[in-house]
Amino acid sequence: MKETTYVYGKEEYRVTSDSEGNIRIITVNGKRVKFSYRKVQEHVFLVEFEGRKETVYVAGERGKFYVWTGKRGYILEEKSEEYSASGAVKKEEGVQYVTSPMPGKVVKVLVRPGDRVKEGQGLIIVESMKMENEFTADFDGIVKEVKASPGDQIDADVPLVIVEAESRGE
């Protein structure tokens, strides 16, 4: 049995996984789910649970997983002290470096240097694997730098926006 804590948004989920033959068992924060699956192609699985079949797309790298099912997408990250709860922001005391966990294209920049932002406010939208992801502020602060423009092709884990906590400069 494997146990991992994942972060999605600002929530943590304790996940255990095990197998019984061709049945997979996952327990998320105490809720148990049994399912079977088969790989259809690279990163694409046909999952069957509770009498339903669903196509699920899964990609991952360095402890980050991107899961798309139906019309919903999720970015999960193994819990680490290096990253904030959003899974897309490397942390330093009072400074937020907004990065994309995957290569992609900048769709829209929602802030400019000098803008005051509130916790949870959108900063930048990046498209990766045909899905748009909006990255938000972890705390109230001031945008110090914007390093990307709409249309830019970006690499994973490269700072796109830098926000400094308001209390840091005082």
Cα first-last separation, the chain:
48
Residues 6+ apart with CB under 8 A from 25: 17, 18, 19, 32, 33, 34
- Domains of the chain are 2-78 (3.30.700.30), 89-165 (2.40.50.100)
Q: 3-state SS of the chain: helix, strand, coil percent to 5?
A: 0, 60, 40
Position 150 scores a pLDDT of: 96
Q: Which residue type is seen at 99?
A: T
Residues 6+ apart with CB under 8 A from 41: none
Position 62 scores a pLDDT of: 65
* Contact criterion met (CB below 8 Å) for 146 and 97: no
What's the pLDDT tens digit per position in 6-57? 887 778 888 888 888 778 898 988 899 899 988 898 888 899 988 889 998 8
pLDDT at position 1 over 80: no
Residue with the two structure tokens 């840091």: 168
Tokens of 100: 């994309």
Alpha-carbon distance 165 to 157, whole Å? 21
> How sure is the predictor about 166, in pLDDT bands with cuts at 50, 70 and 90?
confident
Query: What's the pTM?
Result: 0.52
Nearest to 137 by CA among 10, 7, 5, 6: 10
